[in-house]
Amino acid sequence: MSRKTKNIIELTGIYSVIALMFVVIFYPLLWTLGLSLNPGTSLYGASMIPENWSLVHYEWLFTNPRSDYLVWYKNTIIVATATSFFAVLFVSLVAYAFSRYRFVGRTYGLYAFLLLQMFPVLMAMVAIYILLNTVNLLDTLTGLIIVYIGGAIPMNAFLVKGYFDTIPRELDESAKIDGAGHFRIFFTIMLPLAKPILAVVALFNFMAPFMDFILPRIILRSPENFTLALGLFNFVNDQFANNFTRFAAGAILIAIPIATVFLLLQRYLVSGLTAGATKG
């Protein structure tokens, strides 16, 4: 077999895999978009390419007095933004401490971070519920944000710590000679150099509240505090109002803030994902 034939076979295999993944990813997305444009409410009478498409479901979400969609959207944006910001702040502080300082229990602390990721979140649900109820944060966005931030620290801190380890310590020493303190080194040297990995942390923690259903389901009770995942669930869960097309319209709009943040951070993401895998 000639080299040219081998190259053709290899390229055919590669493009076949890409085409398969394209179908797996975009086929459900196209169906969801098509459902959102179908004027009816039934899942069975809808089609991926509707003949008489309509924006009636989008209009209902934004204009109908009975719709709480904008409230859910606002709640989710608040939770996602706060979680992303404070997760980046606390994760970077913890990672900086483990990367630059030597203290008793440092090694065991890193092992603890890895160990915590081995247990599913469901194991802690009862404890989280009792804790939030004790401090009167049950059924509040604040309580949900705190849980998200706490859950983001272990794995992300380990990831960011690996990135900090790649930054030369000579930069710290030079700054100390010039009279810089620990916080000045952290904010003026470490954070600017760690933008790629911090962008990854920010994006992942911004996305989580849009996708998560289990935590809001356990913590939130009042409809005015629902996030999008929890609120949209009601569209298909109610016994007498299984409106899958309206659910699809609401789900499509979730992509807007996530795509916006992704576009803003995209130049940092590739280098952040690859460099963050380095462990010190």
- What would the pLDDT profile of 143-184 be if each residue is shown by its tens digit? 999 999 988 888 888 889 888 888 888 888 888 888 888 888
Calculate what percentage of the chain has a pLDDT beyond 70.
91
For 91-102, the pLDDT digits (tens) are 999 999 888 888
pTM, 2 dp: 0.83
Class of domain 64-275: mainly alpha
Give residue limits of the domains in the chain. Answer: 3-54, 64-275
User: What was the pLDDT predicted at 177?
Assistant: 85
For 209-236, the pLDDT digits (tens) are 998 898 999 999 888 899 999 888 877 7
Mean per-residue pLDDT, 119-129:
82
User: What was the pLDDT predicted at 239?
Assistant: 47
What pLDDT band is residue 112 in, cutting at 50, 70 and 90? confident
User: What was the pLDDT predicted at 82?
Assistant: 96
User: What was the pLDDT predicted at 277?
Assistant: 46
CA 55 to each of CA 20, 45, 134, 240: distance values in angstroms, whole numbers, following the listed order? 31, 17, 45, 23
The mean of the pLDDT values for the chain is 84
What pLDDT band is residue 278 in, cutting at 50, 70 and 90? very low
